[in-house]
Structure 1
Amino acid sequence: MVHEGVLLESPTMRASIADRTEALDKVKALSLLSDGTHVTTSMVAHYFEVGLKTIESTVHDHRAELEGNGYRVLTGTELTSFKEVSSVDKHAGRHLALFTRRTVLNVAMLLRDSVVAAQVRRYLLDAEARQRFPQGSRPVENSVVHNLVEWLDERIERSVAEQLAQYDTRMARVAEDSVRAVLAQTVVPLLNHAVRADGEQRREMSEIRRELARIDRALRARMPANGMTAVDAMTPREFEDHVAGLCRRDGCVGVTGCDARDPGDGDGHGPRLGGAGSTDLLGRAADGRTLVVRCGHIAPYRKVESEDVRRFVGMAKDEYEADVALFVTAATFTSAALDLAVRHGVTAVHRRLLEAWSGGATLHVLR
């Protein structure tokens, strides 16, 4: 069985079991906001029975990993829209941090000083062990071997002390030899079996580490050599191919370019998205949902405007009846554009989210 410390230290191991959110309710009921999806920072602190500062410190230290698992901070019009459809106090502050169940599970694998988090980790590891080792074939842990050796030493010392109380030094040596002989016939075979099982476990862990390293290298290989600098240097066609590759990596099928193009209106600042600066992709998600993607290749200092999103909504929803609509750009979105995307069910993949997606994270809407 994998030790609990591996989850605390290995991002790769955490990512491999990040979908097992059922572990949260197995340990303790997790309350959600009225949207049935999110929880606030205070709700996470209440669940793990720790202070707000502990959760905020964890987010600060592991923000990129948590954002890859659904953590985000709402501000401006996006926060206002969320307050209208949730149970959040409408007079709350100017920003609101939201966690998904997947993010809360991620926090459970990072918190060191929470009894509830430790129980969640143990449940995850026990479930992993039950899946990988059928009943009766599960290897003995290192701790079992160590505890058994300590128990043996304690029993020997106790037996010798009892013999010394009744016999002289010579008889004590005879008694010690007798105790060791009995133990050698009964317990040592069990120890030998435990050592062999421990060796098998170590070999299996080495194979798992090599496989995780191979997967990590493969994921990193999909990210351009110079990160977002390389993305910025792409042509529109190369950017479209890069986004199409990310979709296919996450299980989408039949992802190809389509002929839908908006004419753009020319505003003195270059063409609007939907004109020369963008291309579109069509395909299906792994579960069969219709997928439409707009690849907005513009300079990183520019912003996607609400009009750009409105054009895409008309094309994706009305013309193609998209179940999943992605607006992908290496730039950022205005607050109005983000608000419009949320209201029309469009996933706005901005620069920071694209960087995480290119680095191996999976978009929540494609899972």
Structure 2
Amino acid sequence: MTTPTLRTPPAHRRHRFDLRATTLFFVFLGVVVCVVGFAVRMLAGSVERRPAWVFVLAVVGVASLLGLRRRVHVMRAARRAAAALDEAARDAAEELETLTIPRQRACADVAGDYEALTPEEFEEAIAALCERDGCSAVDLVGGAGDLGADVLAVAPDGRRVVIQCKHYGDSHRVGSQDLQRFGGTCFTVHEADVAVLVTTSHFTAPAVEYAEQCGIVCVDRETLQAWTDGTGPQPWRQQ
């Protein structure tokens, strides 16, 4: 029995010439050429009859290019502005955090010994007490040119509170001159509804008498400790 041999197809088979496909290709090419030629002829005739259209089309093209470039510039400027605002917001948040953290630390230390604090830390501690007890818009303004106000705040009932801090030792009492200087600015300059002078020491009798006449709340060492512990009223409730 003989085995039939398989015939291997040739590696390169020539494609047959397709007259129909070739004819359709040249017909399509002719139609495209005719359409393009007709469009060019119409455009040339329109330009010849109305030359102003060329100027109009040129102006429209230039304006479109300029508008596209302007849009690109505006988009770039908007992205830069957004990035700048984002960076400014982060810087403001960091700045607010740096201002809040010392007050939080001071508020954590207010139950301790006030005499161990520096005058600046004492002002921070008083501001922290105000924030702890519900005051808003608490601001530290102590320093040169403060005109007698170290801490400004708004009490929970909406009254404006102006506080002066005197970080004195036990042997250095707050005298009437201190109260007179504070009384000369707390109401007229700072427009206080509640004026408070708080100290780590005590007040002299003339100072207390002057404070009662002017309506200034005096907070001495014991009263401050009671305010700190929560066993005594806040200064804006003592008036």
Normalised TM-score (structure 1): 0.33
Larger radius of gyration: 2
Greater relative CO (CA pairs within 8 A, separation 6+):
1
